[in-house]
Amino acid sequence: MAIFGNEHRLVIVGAGFCGATIAYKVASELDLPVLVLDRRGHVGGNSYSKFDDETGIEYHQYGSHLFHTSNEAVWKFITQFSPFNNYRHRVFSRHRGKTYTIPINLMTINQFFGTDFDPAGARAFIAQQAAAENIEAPRNFEEKAVSQIGRPLYEAFIKGYTAKQWETDPAALPTEIISRLPVRFGFNDFYFGDLYEGLPTAGYSAIFDKILGHPKIKVVTGCDYFDVRGTIDPQVLSVYTGPLDRYFDYKFGELGWRTLDFEIERLDVEDFQGAAVVNYADIDVPFTRIHEFKHLHPERRHGNKTLIMREYSRFARRADEPYYPIGRQDDKRRYSQYKKLAEAEANVIFAGRLGTYRYLDMHQAIGAALNLYEKKVAPLLTGRCVKSDGPESDDLQRQSSPSLVPTRNAGVDEVMERRPRARSDR
Ligand code: FAD
Ligand code: UDP
């Protein structure tokens, strides 16, 4: 029984940035009807935001989402739906009762060591500490970190935070996770180094309402694909952006994810911490960071109250929302097994963060979706070529995220590993 009607030429599972981008391109450029399903009660995926009734402050339900990109096509795409403010992200880290700037930069180094180095002096000093570790070819997160920033900075700002964030021995974590965090020998303390950065002035949800409000797109929220799958014509092309292992009923076991618990508090103070995000580096503080969302929109008038959100990290169980792919060796092995099944699945394209088991930033999810539309979805829907079934991942991720785990742009001066186009990647 076709409960959604059978006029749709494309079914998209997931109304996050990946699904929404593909839906919009198909609707607006091919003029074809698209059905978008999401099991949550709202669209926007993890980028969803809403305005708090009590304080009037917009908050991001799944943690602060900072938009930044150097990809012109992505920026052009997203800004057609909203202007962006000029917010530039800075993060601070609390360690033993003091506040430092993160990523580690010249100010952090001088403050931490009580020195007054210039850039060259700091570089030489850190190089000396790193050399003491005697690690030539780092094989894991910890080796990578200490071989590049030395042990004192690692133990102060990385070790405790990472223990809370991943609950995994840093020696068992891949090097790519720490490669997301640059280290700089100048005073540049901006978190990102992209050409474009900012927050949508009317919020993320307003963007999603515009994208998915296209008359050719039908959205059904509160609908789990697996509850209605049997009613969807298997001949109709689908783009699945849900978890890859769930699609195959966990046949090879679960892919490892971290999930987060968020604790919201409304306070009768105008400014709780002076910045949008403060990390808590010490292991004896149970949360990893506190978000204070009003700082993301300096252009708005906010009242005397504030809204903060503490973030706690733990291993995801099946019923939890998966947030960060862990990417241990057994995850990589399982992913290859699922990938083979995905390649054999007719009329389904696996995409997005969950469908490809990759950490993607929003700009990467949009970039990958634009690419997927051009290379696979549009040709298939218009008969320009025959789909070779399989996950879009490898093809698409090459331009966004090369591994199973997060990568982030590193600053010009960083000492941790970076890739050639590092500045554009988060
Ligand atoms: P999602 O947004 O996760 O959307 C997938 C959708 O599929 C979900 O809505 C889900 O409900 C739905 N779905 C899953 N299974 C089913 C099913 N069976 N049936 C129906 N629907 C289903 N990126 C940035 O650029 N900047 C940031 O600052 C940033 N911060 C982040 C902080 C956190 C804590 C996290 C977890 C992510 C952050 N990101 C950030 C990444 C950003 O959230 C992702 O890039 C983006 O969500 C990817 O979009 P997506 O469409 O692939 O996945
Ligand atoms: N990290 C850390 N201390 C910090 C910030 C980051 O140890 O103050 C490490 C941690 O392991 C984290 C990784 O660097 O998982 C990547 O940091 P990022 O800020 O990219 O994490 P996200 O914002 O995506 O959670």
In the predicted structure, residue 402 carries a pLDDT above the cut 70: no
Q: Which residues contact 46 (CB under 8 A, 6 or more apart)?
A: 16, 62, 63, 65, 321, 323, 353
Per-residue pLDDT band at 411 (split at 50, 70, 90) = very low
Helix 17-29 with 204-212: angle, nearest 10 deg: 30
Report how far ligand 2's centroid is from the alpha carbon of 424 (Å): 18
Q: Can you give the pLDDT at residue 170?
A: 86
For residues 178 and 176, give the distance between their C-alpha atoms in angstroms, rounded to a whole number: 6
Range among 172-181, 322-331, 387-396 with highest mean pLDDT value: 322-331
The reported pLDDT for the residue numbered 327 is 85
Burial class (CB in 10 A: 0-12, 13-18, 19+), 116: exposed
For helices 106-113 and 119-131, give the axis angle rounded to 10 degrees: 70
Do 279 and 288 contact (CB within 8 A), yes or no?
A: yes
Residue 1: is its pLDDT beyond 70? no
End-to-end CA, the chain: 44
Residue to mutate, 288, 348, 362, 370, ligand 1, most ligand atoms under 8 Å from C-beta:
362
Kindly indicate the confidence band of residue 404, based on its pLDDT and cuts at 50, 70 and 90.
Answer: very low
Averaged pLDDT of the chain: 89
> Mean pLDDT throughout 320-335?
91
- Residue 180 bears catalytic tag: yes
Q: Residues 112, 152: contact at Cβ < 8 Å?
A: yes
CA 117 – CA 45 distance, rounded (Å): 44
Q: Which of 258, 353, 408, 423 is catalytic?
A: 258
In this predicted structure, which of 100-104, 138-142, 174-178, 210-214 has the lowest mean pLDDT? 174-178
**Which element (helix H / strand E) includes 160?**
helix 160-166
**Residue 104 confidence class, pLDDT cut points 50, 70, 90:** very high
Most confident of 111-115, 128-132, 165-169: 111-115
* 210: three-class secondary structure by DSSP: helix
Answer whether the bond into residue 406 is a cis peptide, omega within 30°: no
Q: Indicate which residue of 9, 40, 94, 180 is catalytic.
A: 180
Place of tokens 């910045």: 275
Does 389 score more than 80 pLDDT? Answer: no
Q: Model confidence at 415, in pLDDT bands (50, 70, 90)? A: very low
Of 22, 72, 79, nearest in space to 45 by CA: 22
DSSP strands (E only) in 142-251: 196-198, 217-221, 237-240
Ligand 1 pocket check for 197: Cβ under 6 Å: no
**Ligand 2 atom 2: residue of nearest CA:** 158
Percent of the chain with pLDDT over 90: 80
Strand partners, 10: 34, 237
Q: How many whole angstroms from its chain centre is CA 120?
A: 33
- Residue 80 CA to ligand 1 centre (angstroms): 21
Q: Judge residue 211's burial from the number of C-beta atoms within 10 Å of its C-beta, 0-12 exposed, 13-18 middle, 19 or more buried.
A: buried
Task: Copy the structure tokens of residue 321.
Answer: 């929302």
Mean pLDDT over 229-250 rounds to 95
Task: Write out pLDDT tens, residues 17-50.
Answer: 999 999 999 999 999 999 999 999 999 999 999 9
Ligand 2 centroid to 108 CA: how many Å? 16
Q: What is the pLDDT confidence band of residue 412, given thresholds at 50, 70 and 90? A: very low
Residue 403 has pLDDT above 50, yes or no: no
> Which ligand sits nearest to residue 11's alpha carbon?
1
Place of tokens 């050409």: 195
**Phi, psi for residue 340 in degrees, rounded to 5:** -65, -45
In which element (H, E) is residue 26 found?
helix 17-29
Q: What is the pLDDT of residues 66-93, one digit of tens each?
A: 999 999 999 999 999 999 999 999 999 9
Is residue 420 scored above 80 in pLDDT? no
Active site annotation includes 359: yes
In angstroms, the Cα distances linking 2 to 41, 229, 345 are 22, 10, 21
Joined tokens for residue 206: 């307003």
Any catalytic annotation for residue 94? no
Residue 383 — very low, low, confident or very high, per pLDDT cuts 50/70/90? Answer: confident
DSSP 3-state of 265: strand
Average pLDDT over residues 234-245: 96
Question: What is the pairing mode between strands 10-13 and 237-240?
Answer: parallel
Question: Which protein residues touch ligand 2 with a CB less than 6 Å away?
Answer: 93, 102, 157-158, 161-162, 165, 177-178, 180-181, 279, 281, 406, 408
pLDDT of residue 2: 60
Model pLDDT for residues 141-189, shown as the tens digit of each residue: 999 999 989 999 999 999 999 999 999 888 888 888 888 788 999 999 9
**168 secondary structure, DSSP code:** S
In the structure, how many helices (H) and strands (E) does the chain have? 16, 16
What percent of the chain has a predicted confidence (pLDDT) above 70? 89
399: helix, strand or coil:
coil
Say if residue 302's pLDDT is above 80.
yes
The pLDDT value given to residue 413: 28
Beta-carbon-side half-sphere exposure of residue 359 (alpha carbons within 13 Å) = 20
Q: Which pLDDT belongs to residue 385?
A: 54
